[in-house]
Chains A and B, each alone.
Chain A
Amino acid sequence: MSSQKKRNFQIEAFKHRVVVDPKYAEKTWKILEHAIHEIYNHNASGLSFEELYRNAYNMVLHKFGEKLYSGLVSTMTSHLKEIAVSIEASQGALFLEELDRKWTEHNKALQMIRDILMYMDRTFIPSTHKTPVHELGLNLWRDNIVHSIKIQMRLKDRLLELVQRERGSEVINRGLMRNVVKMLMDLGSLVYQEEFEKPFLVVSADFYRGESQQFIESCDCGDYLKKAEKRLNEEIERVSHYLDARSEVKITNVVEKEMIESQMTRLVHMENSGLVNMLMDDKYDDLGRMYHLFRRVPNGLSLIRDVMTTHIRETGKQLVTDPERLKDPVDFVQHLLDEKDKHDKIIHLSFNNDKMFQNSLNSSFEHFINLNTRSPEFISLFVDDKLRKGLKGVSEEDVETILDKVMMLFRYLQEKDVFEKYYKQHLAKRLLSNKSVSEDAERSLILKLKTECGYQFTSKLEGMFTDMKTSDDTMQGFYAAVGHELGDGPTLGVHVLTTGSWPTQLTTTCNLPPEILTVCDKFKTYYLGTHNGRRLSWQTNMGSADIKATFNKGQKHELNVSTYQMCVLMLFNNGDGLSYTEIEQATGIPTVDLKRCLQSLACAKGKNVLRKEPMSKDIGEDDTFFFNDKFTSKFYKVKIGTVVAQKESEPEKQETRQRVEEDRKPQIEAAIVRIMKARRVLDHNNIVAEVTKQLQSRFLPNPVVIKKRIESLIEREFLERDKDDRKLYRYLA
């Protein structure tokens, strides 16, 4: 720069260099070009930023922006070409390092250049719509380095090679990878995708396809899943360390597709280690892993769910149709509960409490429990067992837990009315023989049934409890009023049962011993005296008695027996060696009951207070019975009663089922009438559907039975068929 000689203060007109000077632009450009060279040669320290800036500023101002710009482009390009050569020359591992280093330098240079040319960046470039300096620098790098023929392929291969090595458990220079990948990202997502991501995904897909094939041949299901999970995690970690975050979902999709989706059917059905085996062996970890992996792919979870459902239905079906299992109802139900618990646990621990799985489990249980028509009876027997002795000494909380589990099974039943019938029968026996472990537990269960099914379901059951309480009061009243008259006679305990609340029993004949009859009559008189207009009939098949017996050697025992048994035994006070026929005539007890009664008195080990000739197991009509003098027992009190709830025999079961069917008819008819009254006119299919819906909380009505009931109602002129439309029925008011 020419220095001005110091003079007297003379102010001259400001003469700026006129555009006219053609050499001006060239000169200025040369300065700047030189500066760029220096910058690229790491000699930037000798430059004056301010001067360079001003030069660039002037060029733009004097309308030489175009020259500046094109000069920049060509200068940078030539530098980059040199750089490309040096990168191409580097060998092996140094290739990436060199690239990385040169890139860093270029960026630094670019920044400086951009600062110098900022004025152009802000004014000339926007107005001419040219690429800004920084972006230009990146584009030039891309075009001259990354897209250079010798570099492009090598770069791609090298990057992929390193990834593969890392997959092979080699340690690689992640920092370097990160830098190079970031370089591609900085050059634009298109560059990143074309130069790296796309080929990366393709190679990865091939790799994992191969690996999945290899693993599936050599591993069992659990191991395979572990390996797949490991690979998945590796890829996620890889992305977080040196790839673009948006690649994560793409690479995980690849792994999911190749390693999980393509093999999932085979995995689930793998022999000895597949899903079914895992379920059976409670392999919580493996199952959890499977759940989380399969969740990632379409239809993964539904595959697991379907296989699980089929398996549960199968095992369930086997359970309910296995004759061995069905021998002991309590055991049977316990198994059901165990199965449910087992699968609940699996869903909780491994399947993330997934609601759809829970639903599948429930529907499977509902399906197979109802395959066995005796399920309602067995569940009632289970409850009976628990309420008799199973809940003894169990804490209140645990009692509730068990009862809740019972309720859960109850909900699965389609024939809830059958359960109700049996429950009533068993409850009656429990109450009358005073065998209930805890009245609180009984009440609690009834409350749960009421909540589930409504007041109707439990009103009669509650009536039974009321009768028991009322009877206690009645007995107190009886003894207070008549006690003095009874003297030494037997002590009587009476439960007065309201017909209708208790299970229907046919009154049977039985000739009570005279001393019993007397006191019974006294009670009857007393009761009918205080309750006008009622009728009492003795239910001799449901009673029990405590009698004292003296055996040989003066041994005394107190025997707890049923009423029938008492009648039989009392006969032996007046005679011995009684034939079956004599006993039958004297007691008037019906044959089946009498045989069962005699069997329990004469053929049961440890309880044979009678002796039978011949000593066969069964009671024959020619048998003779003797008082067994030689009877011994460890205990003073011996229980021989037979009033225990047990699994029904085949004919009894048929009878109960028939009664249930009979009870259902009026219920179905009531439903039909209700529906038709509201709708007036309705077609057949809709009636069937509506009736089924209305009754589903109690039982599943058979469509044929519904049709029969409709016909019966037509005959009784509650309904009529529509004269014109074949399908319709009409309500007749």
Chain B
Amino acid sequence: MPRVSKRKSDPVKSSEPATKKITKEVERIDSFFASYANTSLGMIDPEGVEKLCSDLSVEHTDVRVLMLAWKMNAKKQGYFTQDEWRTGLKSLHADTLKKLKKQLPELQKEVAMKENFEDFYCFSFCYCLTEDKQKNLDIETACVLLNLVLGRAYNLQVDSFIEYLKFQKEYKVINMDQWTNFYRFCQEIEFPDLKNYDDCLAWPIILDNFVDWLREKSTSA
């Protein structure tokens, strides 16, 4: 019976400075949010995002913006809700513009970590599905996204694949399955000799066709 009161008193005593600190952080994050948010919507809209980017000295098409969206687990492309903002910036420990700018390289490193990258890669696909119930990405957008996300790590494969996507006529869109498998392709298959590619395995047909096209090109070249 008497315990209750004891418990009540403890948190107040021991974490008071902590909560103070937390609340201070939350306050700063919120005001940071407010400086870019569209007040009528209650969230940051594309205009706000653009402003944020220029303040951060990055292009709004820069991959780091996408990484930020991933960190925030943002649902809608071009918009950040307050919750998403809070989530992202809290985990980055960035409550001011200056701190955020400083954290960007850290963010990049974090994304590049093996356990995170695949998640980021898949996220980026979903993030671009702007329409309701949209499941596929048109070839144009897919190519831009591939370049953005994988361009640096696997630039040979990405350049080749983009060329192929633009050349072939069979597929007008890319679906999630094909998207994820391309990443696995980059990871597992030796490029450019493609020695260990076996089309009897469960690769999507678009990649089978891609490999055939590459092999044909190399023999005729």
Chain A residues in contact with chain B, CB under 8 A? 683-685, 704, 707-708, 710-711, 714-715, 721, 726-729
Q: Known: A684-B201, A684-B202, A714-B177. Is A726-B135 also a contact (CB below 8 A)?
A: no
Establish whether residues A715 and B135, one from each chain, have CB atoms under 8 Å apart when the complex forms.
Answer: yes
Establish whether residues B202 and A728, one from each chain, have CB atoms under 8 Å apart when the complex forms.
Answer: yes
Contacts of A726 in B (CB 8 A): 184, 188, 201-203
CB A570 to nearest CB in B, in angstroms, measures 50
Contacts of B201 in A (CB 8 A): 683-684, 726-727
Contacts of B135 in A (CB 8 A): 715
CB A301 to nearest CB in B, in angstroms, measures 37
Q: Which residue of A lies closest to B184 (CB)?
A: A726
Q: Is B113 part of the contact surface with A, judged by Cβ < 8 Å?
A: no
Establish whether residues A721 and B205, one from each chain, have CB atoms under 8 Å apart when the complex forms.
Answer: no
Establish whether residues A708 and B205, one from each chain, have CB atoms under 8 Å apart when the complex forms.
Answer: yes
Q: Known: A726-B184, A726-B188. Is A715-B202 also a contact (CB below 8 A)?
A: no
Q: List 17 A-B contacts (CB under 8 A).
A: A684-B200, A684-B201, A684-B202, A685-B200, A704-B205, A707-B208, A708-B205, A711-B177, A714-B177, A715-B135, A715-B175, A715-B177, A721-B177, A721-B202, A726-B188, A727-B202, A729-B202
Interface residues on B, range: 10 to 19
Q: Which residue of A lies closest to B176 (CB)?
A: A715
CA distance A685 to B188 in the complex (A): 19
CB B177 to nearest CB in A, in angstroms, measures 5
Q: Which residue of A lies closest to B180 (CB)?
A: A721
CA distance A710 to B177 in the complex (A): 11
Q: Known: A684-B200, A685-B200, A715-B135. Is A707-B177 also a contact (CB below 8 A)?
A: no
CB B6 to nearest CB in A, in angstroms, measures 49
B residues 162-192 in Cβ contact with A at 8 Å:
175, 177, 181, 184, 188
Q: Is B151 part of the contact surface with A, judged by Cβ < 8 Å?
A: no
Contacts of A729 in B (CB 8 A): 202
CA distance A683 to B202 in the complex (A): 8
Establish whether residues B175 and A721, one from each chain, have CB atoms under 8 Å apart when the complex forms.
Answer: no
Q: Is B204 part of the contact surface with A, judged by Cβ < 8 Å?
A: yes
CA distance A683 to B201 in the complex (A): 8
CB A228 to nearest CB in B, in angstroms, measures 51
| Overall SS of chain A's interface | helix
CA distance A209 to B204 in the complex (A): 64
CB A704 to nearest CB in B, in angstroms, measures 7
B residues 32-53 in Cβ contact with A at 8 Å:
none
Q: Which residue of B lies closest to A725 (CB)?
A: B202
Establish whether residues A711 and B204, one from each chain, have CB atoms under 8 Å apart when the complex forms.
Answer: yes
Q: Which residue of A lies closest to B204 (CB)?
A: A711
Contacts of B184 in A (CB 8 A): 726
Q: List 20 additional contacts besides A684-B201, A726-B201, A727-B202; criterion CB under 8 Å.
A: A683-B201, A683-B202, A684-B202, A685-B200, A707-B205, A707-B208, A710-B202, A711-B177, A711-B204, A711-B205, A714-B177, A715-B135, A715-B175, A721-B177, A721-B181, A721-B202, A726-B188, A726-B203, A727-B201, A728-B202
Q: Which 3 A-B pairs have the closest CB atoms?
A: A684-B202, A714-B177, A727-B201
Contacts of B204 in A (CB 8 A): 711
Contacts of B177 in A (CB 8 A): 711, 714-715, 721
CB B54 to nearest CB in A, in angstroms, measures 39
Q: Which residue of B lies closest to A687 (CB)?
A: B202
CB B76 to nearest CB in A, in angstroms, measures 23
CA distance A726 to B202 in the complex (A): 6
B residues 195-217 in Cβ contact with A at 8 Å:
200-205, 208
Contacts of A708 in B (CB 8 A): 205
Q: For B135, B200, B202, B204, which residue has the most chain A Cβ atoms within 10 angstroms?
A: B202
**Per-position 1/0 for B131-156, Cβ under 8 A of A:** 00001000000000000000000000
CB B18 to nearest CB in A, in angstroms, measures 40
Q: Which residue of A lies closest to B209 (CB)?
A: A704
CA distance A369 to B102 in the complex (A): 74
Contacts of A707 in B (CB 8 A): 205, 208
Contacts of A728 in B (CB 8 A): 202
Q: Which residue of B lies closest to A729 (CB)?
A: B202
CA distance A22 to B175 in the complex (A): 124
CB A592 to nearest CB in B, in angstroms, measures 30
Q: Which residue of A lies closest to B135 (CB)?
A: A715
CA distance A573 to B129 in the complex (A): 65
CA distance A714 to B180 in the complex (A): 13
CA distance A685 to B181 in the complex (A): 18
